[in-house]
Structure 1
């Protein structure tokens, strides 16, 4: 399911998460030289990147450059169906992982467990295949680096953006977890059935947290 994130005109002070830093390293690996990396990062910080469209295996955005605007598309390999199911199993292996993901955290052991099963969630530089409508002869150009840099900010804020890029967005993940819990619950008794309750509680908690955050940003006062 395609999702479009609004244009960001202010850069974060820093990328704080380990998975956000891993994305940054992949962007550095993808760049041919500092000649593209530095101006690309500067363009991202200036807010030259328009709204970023994230879909299964695809990132799309326009980048302003003076009086011109160029279209950048990045293609990232998606998980094969069996690998996507394996990732669902990894998430479901510990109920706390669902709550962590919905709260904006990516457990390190989740990624390690997935890698043991052959599921690569975090991309490496060679997987970030970028093209741009500008006349630069190398890809990724500075415009593509700007888009990839801002996508890193999105991933830093919400690791489920990473899942979506790999072909398993939030809705698909939750639906798969529900289906797994329901199917196992019929034969495995109430213990496995508790996973469905954990999913519901985690979703509710995440939605409540988002509403509170929105109220804080809107300047609402909360009594102690």
Structure 2
């Protein structure tokens, strides 16, 4: 297995999101807000929300710098959708880890899969 394969994780498709929000945690809502605030095409964003609510988004693959999913239109046409992200440099990771160990509660929160707001900043 190559190093690239080891860094990729795939998550099963979610069921339709009718009647509920997409994010349940504060950091999930913050992620969505950041994505919406930086979207270049508001109509495309609305279409993506509709497709997600209808359960048209397939499995999601996450790897450094990229999130990918196959999305099906109402007519059954499949398209690949990618979200590109800037990767943290070694120095940025070191800064993040230094901040995390400064407060004991941060490590406990990270182990519980929570992201303390201080570390997000």
Q: CA deviation at 1:39?
A: 1.7
CA distance in 2, matches of 1:107, 1:29: 21
Q: CA deviation at 1:101?
A: 1.6
Deviations 1:195-214 (A, max 9, x none): xxxxxxxxxxxxxxxxxxxx
Q: CA deviation at 1:33?
A: 4.3
3-state DSSP of counterpart to 1:61: strand
Task: Determine the structure 1 residue equivalent to 2:4.
Answer: none
Q: TM-score, normalised by structure 1?
A: 0.46
CA distance in 2, matches of 1:13, 1:99: 29
Q: TM-score, normalised by structure 2?
A: 0.80
> Is the aligned partner of 1:88 residue 2:94?
no
Structure 2: gaps of 5 or more residues? 1-6
Task: Determine the structure 2 residue equivalent to 1:36.
Answer: 44
Which structure carries more helix by proportion?
Answer: 1
Task: Determine the structure 2 residue equivalent to 1:10.
Answer: 16
RMSD: 1.8
Q: CA deviation at 1:23?
A: 1.5
Task: Determine the structure 1 residue equivalent to 2:116.
Answer: 107
Structure 1: gaps of 5 or more residues? 113-224
Output aligned runs, 1:8-157, within 5 Å. 8-11=14-17, 13-14=20-21, 15-65=23-73, 66-112=75-121
Higher relative contact order (CA 8 A, sep 6+): 1
CA distance in 1, matches of 2:9, 2:50: 25
CA distance in 2, matches of 1:40, 1:68: 14
CA distance in 2, matches of 1:10, 1:99: 32
Deviations 1:120-170 (A, max 9, x none): xxxxxxxxxxxxxxxxxxxxxxxxxxxxxxxxxxxxxxxxxxxxxxxxxxx
- Distance change in 2, residues 1:31/1:109 (3 Å): closer
Q: CA deviation at 1:10?
A: 3.2
Ranges of 4+ aligned residues in structure 1 off by more than 6 Å = none
3-state DSSP of counterpart to 2:46: helix
Q: CA deviation at 1:99?
A: 1.6
- Between Structure 1 and Structure 2, whose CA radius of gyration is higher? 1
Which structure carries more strand by proportion?
Answer: 2
